[in-house]
Amino acid sequence: MKQVNYPKREEWNDLFLRPVQEQEELGNTIRQVFRTIAQDGDAGVLKYTQQYDYPEAKVISTVSLADAGNKLSDELKNAIQLAQNNISKFHSTQIEHPIKLDTMPGVTCWRESRPIDRIGIYIPGGSAPLFSTVLMLAIPAQLAGCRDVILCTPPDRNGNIDPAILYAAYITGVSKVFAIGGAQAIAAMAIGTSTISRVDKIFGPGNQYVTAAKTYAQQLGIAIDMPAGPSEVLIIADKHANPAFVAADLLSQAEHGADSQAILLSDSKDTIDNVLSELSIQLSLLPRKAIAQQALQNSRAILLSNLDECIDFSNGYAPEHLIIATENAEELADKVNNAGSVFIGKYSCESAGDYASGTNHTLPTNGYARNYSGVSVDSFLKKITFQRITAEGIFNIGPAIETLAAAEGLIAHKEAVTIRLNALNNIKK
């Protein structure tokens, strides 16, 4: 983990940079995947499945969910259900109810939510099957009332899907699960095949190929949850922070992947030294030590003059996850402007938000927290505005509309009002 002491503000932009990946060759690969699936449909998907995941695949399999729970321990099922309950509680507060407003007598306006019809969810498999992400995406989709939620996740070399993913899909009402991974899964959901329906919006994390495929899908008119990149955490720790806690939080981020990034900010050199010492001890005990070590090469411990500077740096970096491990954590949290999700106080570990506190863990990365929000019920909804104008209303608002339309030279707009006013005036006569 690289240490940086008292960088000047003009140097901060360089410190905000995330690891960069080569994009040109990646883009060519993604375009070829989409071309193949557009031309060959299910056969194209099957070709890539055999090549990258399950060599013995003969068909695109729709996975049965009914008996998934039989393969899990009661302890794990209870933990998943606890997380489901908390996530449902939190997200149910986001459901809005229409408020009808008379902007003037006879003119009533309101807005209503409608679910996006068909949702596609991508869940990574591999060494870390993210069944928690099934909960984070399928639960708000369920609350929003989405008609059809399909899920794609890669099979292992034997064609199997982690039963925890299947169980999470089962209890959250996912419509269908397909054993398909990688960019080919995104392409199949974006284009549609004989087996896989074309979706309206795609959600979920993934490696660089999945991320690039989601970006490319937008060119086909398919919405995505948000721009995404490698996962990241920024921790602000003062002299009162527990170094072991902070080190554990840095490592919980670093084990996500080699391209993850962990940033430590402090106004105390002793704190940084103690955290780095703890980091070495805890790292040696991790099963995913090699991955975490690579991530730490992209990571930094930065010593700043005071906590206000730490907050300013954090707002500039715009982290996916922000942990405030300071004595005055609540006060500092009020100054946060750019972050995906904030964890306040020494006991608020990122793992809580990743799994079971209730907030969503699908969050903007790579600085997009400056202008994007994390996934919520709103992510699965469209907002439609309505208006109802009575005869009284058109009399009240009509003359202003006529004046405005005429000033813009849009006479047909003006006449749409005038013809109604004249009709009403003739009735009065």
Say what the pLDDT of residue 158 is.
Answer: 85
Handedness of CA 356, 359, 360, 365 (dihedral sign): negative
Average pLDDT over residues 334-351: 97
Mean per-residue pLDDT of the chain: 94
pLDDT tens track for 160-200? 899 999 999 999 999 999 999 999 999 999 999 999 999 99
Domain that holds residue 286: 2-19+230-358
Annotated active-site positions, please? 320-321
Say what the pLDDT of residue 428 is.
Answer: 75
Q: How far apart are CA 348 and CA 337, in angstroms?
A: 19
Q: Tokens representing 9?
A: 């503000």
Say what the pLDDT of residue 22 is.
Answer: 62
Q: Which residue has the tokens 């990743």?
A: 354
Domain final residue, candidates 227, 248, 273:
227
Quick one: pLDDT band at residue 21, thresholds 50, 70, 90? low
Same domain, 173 and 277: no
Percent of the chain whose pLDDT exceeds 90: 85
Asked whether residue 366 is assigned to any structural domain, the reply reads no
Q: What one-character DSSP code corresponds to residue 131?
A: H
Q: How far apart are CA 94 and CA 373, in angstroms?
A: 13
| 183 within 8 A of 44, measured Cβ to Cβ | no
Average pLDDT over residues 381-394: 97
pLDDT tens track for 200-253? 999 999 888 999 999 999 999 999 999 888 889 999 999 999 999 999 999 999
**In Å, what is the CA distance from 89 to each residue of 97, 356, 401?**
17, 11, 45
403 by Cβ neighbours in 10 Å (0-12 / 13-18 / 19+) ranks as exposed
Strand partners, 301: 3, 264
Q: Is 114's pLDDT higher than 80?
A: yes
Asked whether residue 142 is assigned to any structural domain, the reply reads yes
Say what the pLDDT of residue 195 is.
Answer: 94
pTM above 0.85, yes or no: yes
Same domain, 6 and 124: no
Same domain, 223 and 235: no
Overall size of the chain counted in residues: 429
Would strands 107-115 and 101-104 be described as parallel, antiparallel, or unpaired?
A: antiparallel
Q: Which residue has the tokens 């060494």?
A: 127
Average pLDDT over residues 340-356: 97
Domain final residue, candidates 227, 245, 272:
227
Same domain, 168 and 237: no
Residue 396 neighbours by CB distance under 10 Å: 16
Q: Is 304's pLDDT higher than 80?
A: yes
Number of independent structural domains in the chain: 3
| 129 within 8 A of 164, measured Cβ to Cβ | yes
Q: How far apart are CA 304 and CA 152, in angstroms?
A: 44
Quick one: pLDDT band at residue 259, thresholds 50, 70, 90? confident
**Torsion angle, alpha carbons of 108, 109, 111, 114, to 10:** 70
Q: Which residue has the tokens 């490696």?
A: 207
Q: Is 427's pLDDT higher than 90?
A: no
Average pLDDT over residues 76-84: 97
